[in-house]
Structure 1
Amino acid sequence: MTAKPGTLVVGSDIPYVPFEFGEPPRYDGMDMDLLHEIGKRLDVKVVIRKTPFDTIFRDLAQDRFDMVASSVSITEKRKKVVDFSLPYFNADQSVMVQRGSSITDVKDLAGKRVGVQIGGTGELWVKKHLTSSDIRTYDVVDDAFKALAASQVDAVINDFPSSKYAERSYETLKVAATIPTGEQYGLVFPRGSELRHRINQILLEMKRDGAFDRIYRKWFKTAPPDKLLSGRKG
């Protein structure tokens, strides 16, 4: 089921707080907690390979790892090249700015310098909707936050939960607006992977026995929406 018996090798773009962050071998975050619970139930050792997001799907196709756990939004385009697990997190986009900024909504971003992470759905959204903005890309979203704090960009478009959590680390920054996109995160597998079916079974077990609820509450201090791990929106 895995390329190396007894080991589950997982690609992840780190850091992306609060889903994956820290230093090897002690990575932390919601995705990491999910992986270690999955590993226990599969009776395998979980090995994390830190990988840039813009090459993570190519590396998966080249068998560098068995799966990807990296806050990956499920999209129709991506489903043409990879398989996804049941959705485990709802995530809209957001506009992050410096406190005191005059930017309060998406409409204020025309002509502004906007930072995004390379390869993410935020970059896709910006290129489609902010054609008059000065788009600046970063390998990891934390670099975009640092650029915003240093006034090198005027705003950052990024997944809402990650940006909201980052307010704790960047006292001068705040989420000014949410961009409803209906995105959901899923774990990622090569097309036709047998592992996907088994991990979906485990995720449903975790939902039934409360393990998923405990992990979700640990990071977000609230219960997960009922429709998660069901394939339905909401």
Structure 2
Amino acid sequence: MRSRPAPSALAVLAALTALAAAACAPQEADGTASGPSSGASSAGSAATTTAASCAPAALATKARGKLTVGTDTPAYAPWFQDDDPSNGKGFESAVAYAVAQRLGFAEKDVVWQKVAFNNAFAPGAKTFDFDINQVSINEDRRKAVDLSSGYYDVRQAVIALKDSPAAKATDLAGLKGVRLGAQVGTTSLDVINEQIKPDRPAAVFQKNDLAKSALKNGQVDAIVVDLPTAFYITGAEVPEAKVVGQLEAAGGTGGTGGTGAKEQFGLVLDKGSPLTSCVSRAVDALRRDGTLAALEKRWLSDAAGAPVLK
């Protein structure tokens, strides 16, 4: 069932930003926030980027006067809705339009492009200006692409059928003997291999849809996905499954590595893209003015009910 039509994406974002403005730190006189980016690549520093260099006319986008944004297909809820990234519904669609607005692009000037998840951060030139698709920030990916500041702090979660042995797990030890699965190339798969460390190799799937089918068919006992997706799957797609729990944030900036930093999703850009610092600057401003928090509250599930598996 499709949801009731919503107002334009930018109108919604403008209203959310206005609500948060009273609690915001003051911005620069030119209307853009300053400060170092919290996850930008070496392509440039948000602290030294000038307002003029981030003006739409100065940005070296793939198509003049347009902002090309990539994401995978199908575009899953709760990150998108109705498999239509251009409708402004869902957290990542709304974030993309919020970044576009910060960069000075109108809603009509945002062009969406289909990009397979693994292709987004594979080595090689990109056909998009940035890609948004739950890509975790980590140093391995930074070797091939630029990644913006983090726009979402995330944890991974375990889903199991309610009658599965995995559903009874209360800690990581309870998951070691079960059959686990995750999408290839994801932090979810890293979590299985590096945190849970099951007795048998994890099943690897090209798409989350295939992982969900394997779960429903009993080919695996549990799958690992990010927490908001876990709540959506169990609430709307596989009601016979439950969220067993969430995992503690692994080390490293946006992934595993042992430093204890939280995992974050970042926007993907060409390696050495001239847009990276401006995009990170926009993301940082949206975090500071409360827009990201407001969008998260609107579109993503509350994680409070998921126990932490240790």
TM range (shorter): 0.7 to 0.9
Check whether the contact 1:95–1:106 (CA below 8 A) recurs between aligned residues.
no
TM-score normalised by structure 1 residue count: 0.83
Match of 1:86?
149
Match of 1:43?
105
| 1:189-228 paired onto structure 2 within 5 Å | 189-220=269-300
In the TM superposition, residue 52 of structure 1 has moved relative to its aligned partner by 2.0
What letter is aligned with 1:71? Q
Match of 1:23?
83
Match of 1:228?
none
Residues of 2 paired with 1:221 and 1:97: CA distance? 18
Check whether the contact 1:73–1:121 (CA below 8 A) recurs between aligned residues.
yes
Q: Percent identity of the aligned residues?
A: 29
Equivalent position to 2:176, from 87, 105, 110: 110
Check whether the contact 1:109–1:133 (CA below 8 A) recurs between aligned residues.
no
Residues of 1 paired with 2:193 and 2:129: CA distance? 31
Residues of 1 paired with 2:300 and 2:83: CA distance? 22
Unpaired segments ≥5 residues, structure 1: 223-234
Higher strand share: 1
Check whether the contact 1:16–1:141 (CA below 8 A) recurs between aligned residues.
no
SS of equivalent residue, structure 2 residue 298: helix
In the TM superposition, residue 117 of structure 1 has moved relative to its aligned partner by 0.5
Rg bigger for which structure? 2
Match of 2:136?
73
Match of 2:215?
148
Residues of 2 paired with 1:74 and 1:208: CA distance? 19
Residues of 2 paired with 1:78 and 1:38: CA distance? 22
In the TM superposition, residue 50 of structure 1 has moved relative to its aligned partner by 2.2
Residues of 2 paired with 1:145 and 1:207: CA distance? 32
How many residues end up aligned between the 2 structures? 221
Higher mean C-alpha deviation, range 156-165 or range 130-139: 130-139
Check whether the contact 1:148–1:154 (CA below 8 A) recurs between aligned residues.
yes
Distance 1:207 1:108, change over 3 A: closer
Residues of 2 paired with 1:199 and 1:8: CA distance? 11
SS of equivalent residue, structure 1 residue 119: coil
Match of 2:51?
none
Check whether the contact 1:16–1:142 (CA below 8 A) recurs between aligned residues.
no
